[in-house]
Amino acid sequence: MGDQQVLNGVIAVMIGLALGVVLFVPFVAISYRRRGRLTIWRLLLWLSALIYFWAIWTYTLLPLPDPDAIRCVGAILDPMSVVRDVQTGLRAGGNPLGRPEILQLVFNVLLFAPLGFFVRVLGGRGFLVALAVGLGLSLFIETTQLTGVWGLYPCAYRFFDVGDLMTNTTGTVLGSLAGLVVPRRFRGLEVSADARLPRPVTRGRRALAMLCDGLGYSFLAAAIGVAVQLWFGYVVHDERNFADGTLAGDIGTAAAITVWLIVILATGRSIGDLAVQLRYDGSRMPAFLARLLRWLGGVAGIGAIGLIPGGLGISGALSLLACVMFLFTRRGRGLPGLLSGQQLRDAREGADQDSARPARQ
């Protein structure tokens, strides 16, 4: 059982981290629009909430048993069963936490306490909402068990326990109360009063934009590539391309390149720039040409060169040059800024400051 609990925790962490990476770009964009910046505190808190969400399911439903080996169980509907379990554990003597009756109760409370904490700190809601959320989620889980995972199994293989509803809900309320230690200004989803005020353009902020571009571009290319691969295999039944995968990958990459090109030509900013509220401006060349060169110096433009026959070596060299230029140019404007002759600015600065001016390295 101990090994299974560790495995459940590992599964929850891995799924939570994977989802965190996938959702990173929209999370950054929302953070900059609602709070004007990204803080490590809220990033880690939301990542913890993602991992916790999956931990709830792994610890309450896994492992899924072999259908031929399950033992059907009923429901425990007596709410006083919790009291009797506690009394039994206390009468046994010794360390109460060593008794399975007490240990199960404590585990249920601790498992749901983070839920109440997240409801208050991330959702900005009090203990009444936490109570309702805890009770609702616990009821859903218990019903899932009662119905044999909604008909996946012929009968319930875990008890529907009213006592678990009580202890889970109690844990949620206690977690909500614990959230009161977090200062009020750090709680909730409200838009910060200074969210629209310009902030310094730092090298770290530019690095965050580059990270968003890299992740977004890679995920979009991979998602489209997988979709095309499935289309080859299950729609047109092209066995050769389905087995190879090269064409699907190239189509996915080309699609991501095109999306980045359209966005930059339309707005002058990449997906990463839009996420962290940055913009390039100040070039003396025509806007269309400056934006095209800004695209060429970014992840999508370098990726496009890699699709040209024999272009992988050039693409790799440009990627290395882009990293070097990020380190040695003003505010980290990097290769896009050098090619386009533009400077980095906070996108929230006033239009009166938007006039063109000579580029500086």
DSSP assignment of 150-202: HHTSSS-SS-EEHHHHHHHHHHHHHHHHHGGGS-GGGSSSPPPTTTTS-----
Q: Is the model more confident about 115 or about 184?
A: 115
**Closest-CA residue to 165 (of 140, 130, 129):** 140
Please identify which residue in the block is written with the tokens 């989802």: 19
DSSP3 helix / strand / coil % (the chain, rounded to 5): 70, 5, 25
Lowest-pLDDT range, 16-30, 97-111, 198-212, 283-297?
Answer: 97-111
Longest dimension (CA), the chain: 84
pTM score: 0.83
- pLDDT score of 354 more than 50: no
- pLDDT score of 83 more than 80: no
Query: In this structure, are strands 75-76 and 278-281 parallel, antiparallel, or unpaired?
Result: unpaired
- Asked if 82 and 105 count as a contact pair (C-beta separation under 8 A), the reply is yes
pLDDT number for residue 79: 76
